[in-house]
Amino acid sequence: MVPYDAYRIHEIERAKSLAEVQRADEQAARVAYAVSSLLRGVACSVRARAQAIPSGSARPAPPGLTSWPV
């Protein structure tokens, strides 16, 4: 057992005050908001790239070519 495990177990099992519960909820909400914002940004950039690629082709043709050689 690591020296701080006993204290961690004590902290987990003890009854929390209303203020502690509210603070924990606020922190969880901030983390969820940050993760959501990050994923939303990634999704927007992926969506923008997907819309830039013409439908029917997996990737755009190099400059100077109108389509991929068959």
Domain count, the chain: 1
Whole-model pTM above 0.85? no
SS3 69: coil
Q: What are phi and psi of 51, to 5 degrees?
A: -75, -25
Predicted confidence at residue 26, as pLDDT, reads 97
For residue 9, tell me if it sits in a domain: no
Cβ distance 61 to 67 under 8 Å? Answer: yes
Specify if 43 maps to a domain. Answer: yes
Which one is predicted more confidently, 42 or 61?
A: 42
pLDDT digits (tens, 9 = 90+) for 33-53: 999 999 999 988 888 887 776
Has residue 1 been placed in a domain? no
Residue 5 forms part of a structural domain: no
